Amino acid sequence: MTEPPRLTPRQLDIVGEIFGAAAIQTDTGIRIGDKTWPVVDGVIILDGALGTDEAAKAEVIRSFGSEWESFSQMAPEHQQEFDSYFDHVDVPALAGKTVADLGCGMGRWSRILLERTRPRFLVCVDLSDAIFVARHNLAAHDDVIFIKADLEKLTFGGFRFDFAFSLGVLHHIPGGIDRALARIAGYCD
């Protein structure tokens, strides 16, 4: 039996930095401060069970997870879409910066970003199982962290990224786009 991917020492350092507490790998997961979270296939699982009042969110998560599992490959048109989405971003200037892809899906925008610049580290977050597709697509990068978590509940222990982006996600968050934007803005300087 093959051992599941473990976090590298570099990834553990990144996790410790973004959550503001030492990150220690255990046999089944990762301990961050006084909490232990499972790690599955190199993905830190921070999501909890959805409440009964979150049925709409659960359906969106299920459908997007299935979509990205079915369409997990990069396509040539993704380069042009990236250029359109990031036309006001000085992507090369993100070299050496901390970056978060919030609602990363299969990780296509992160992959293109990593082809064009070298951030200090990148954190990819998605609540759907597409996070596992992103981890597979970006497995060659040990300066990338993968977290399965709800953007409405996620906290980074006061850490603030230099740049964060969220494409095609915010309008699906049941709490409303204004609340989602405010939450994401709190993750950045």
Q: What does residue 32 show for φ and ψ, rounded to 5 degrees?
A: -120, 110
Judged by DSSP in three states, 70 sits in helix
Residue 184 tokens, joined: 């994401």
Give Cα 28 distance to the centre of its chain.
20
Q: How confident is the model at residue 65 (pLDDT cuts 50, 70, 90)?
A: very low
Walk across the sheet containing 144-148 and list its strands.
Answer: 23-25, 29-32, 35-40, 43-45, 144-148, 121-126, 98-102, 163-165
**What whole-number distance in Å separates Cα of residue 68 and Cα of residue 14?**
26
Predicted confidence at residue 52, as pLDDT, reads 46
Bigger pLDDT: 56 vs 115: 115
Predicted confidence at residue 72, as pLDDT, reads 53
Predicted confidence at residue 185, as pLDDT, reads 76
Bigger pLDDT: 89 vs 76: 89
In this predicted structure, the answer to whether residue 92 has a pLDDT above a threshold of 90 is yes
% of the chain at pLDDT higher than 70:
76
Rounded mean pLDDT, 53-70: 52
Strand partners, 35: 32
Rounded mean pLDDT, 126-139: 91
Per-chain mean pLDDT for the chain: 82
Rounded mean pLDDT, 66-71: 51
Rounded mean pLDDT, 72-91: 85
In this predicted structure, the answer to whether residue 38 has a pLDDT above a threshold of 80 is yes
Predicted confidence at residue 182, as pLDDT, reads 75
Q: How confident is the model at residue 77 (pLDDT cuts 50, 70, 90)?
A: confident
Bigger pLDDT: 26 vs 69: 26
Predicted confidence at residue 143, as pLDDT, reads 95
Strand partners, 122: 99, 144
Predicted confidence at residue 50, as pLDDT, reads 42
Positive or negative: CA dihedral 87, 90, 92, 98: negative
Reported in sequence order, the residue ranges of the chain that DSSP labels E, i.e. its strands, are 23-25, 29-32, 35-40, 43-45, 98-102, 121-126, 144-148, 163-165
